[in-house]
Amino acid sequence: AQTVTQSQPEMSVQEAETVTLSCTYDTSENNYYLFWYKQPPSRQMILVIRQEAYKQQNATENRFSVNFQKAAKSFSLKISDSQLGDTAMYFCAARIQGAQKLVFGQGTRLTINP
Amino acid sequence: EAGVVQSPRYKIIEKKQPVAFWCNPISGHNTLYWYRQNLGQGPELLIRYENEEAVDDSQLPKDRFSAERLKGVDSTLKIQPAELGDSAVYLCASSFGALNTEAFFGQGTRLTVV
């Protein structure tokens, strides 16, 4: 079975600081995709960034970047120059060939303080 | 373009009563997911449809939960009878095509069973 684990239930940083959220996953498959989703209080999940397992280069989207370590099955999210609007729950998710379903971690509640 | 639409947004019912949730996915999306999200946790898949076929319903409690996706478009998730432990947010998501495509989520229905 595929599992996704987020070991940080909560994190808090000051505005403009950089923060890194951790995620590990477990799969025996070789072809899969990894995602970070943001869930603000409105409850709607919003895609932040995605990473293809076959790509060695880490994905970046403006202030958001990932550190993908395939051998270690690690997929962390780095938020640079954090903003108040980044306050939300962040979920790591994996979509694995064959199973196809999107499996989520438990989430990290991130608070950006002014 | 309209996103994934769910209704109602909130529902409060007494235990043992039936309840139904409705989802309209993004036009053209062939894959539809229903997730349940307990408070402070990540979403857990209940059922996944490819067009009108339920291809993964292994996590759906079939004694009280049922779902349908008529004509491969809208979907309804039903609980009958509801139990206190069913209180959660029910999320619908849709996607199109390959493994790397993101799933788009609706705002969810918050169910409270009293």
For residue A39, how many other CB atoms are within 10 A of its CB?
A: 22
pLDDT tens column, B17-30: 999 999 999 999 99
A43-61 per-position pLDDT tens digit: 889 999 999 888 889 999 9
Quick one: how far is CA A12 from the chain centroid?
16
Query: Cβ separation of B89 and A43 shorter than 8 Å?
Result: yes
Token pair belonging to A1: 């079975």
Whether the pLDDT of residue B64 is over 90: the answer is yes
The CATH number corresponding to A3-113 among 2.60.40.10, 3.30.200.20, 1.10.3210.10, 1.10.260.40 equals 2.60.40.10
Q: Residue A65 and residue A52: Cα distance in Å, rounded?
A: 13
CA–CA distance, B19 with B65 (Å, rounded to integer): 10
Closest CB to A47: pick one of B42, B43, B102: B102
Q: How many angstroms separate the CA atoms of A42 and A40, rounded?
A: 5
Query: What domains can you pick out in chain B, each with its CATH number?
Result: 5-97 (2.60.40.10)
B99/A contact by beta carbon, under 8 A: yes
Q: Does the pLDDT of residue A1 top 70, yes or no?
A: no
Quote the percentage of chain B above a pLDDT of 90: 77
Hunting for tokens 């202030």 — which residue is that? Answer: A63
**Domain ranges across chain A:** 3-113
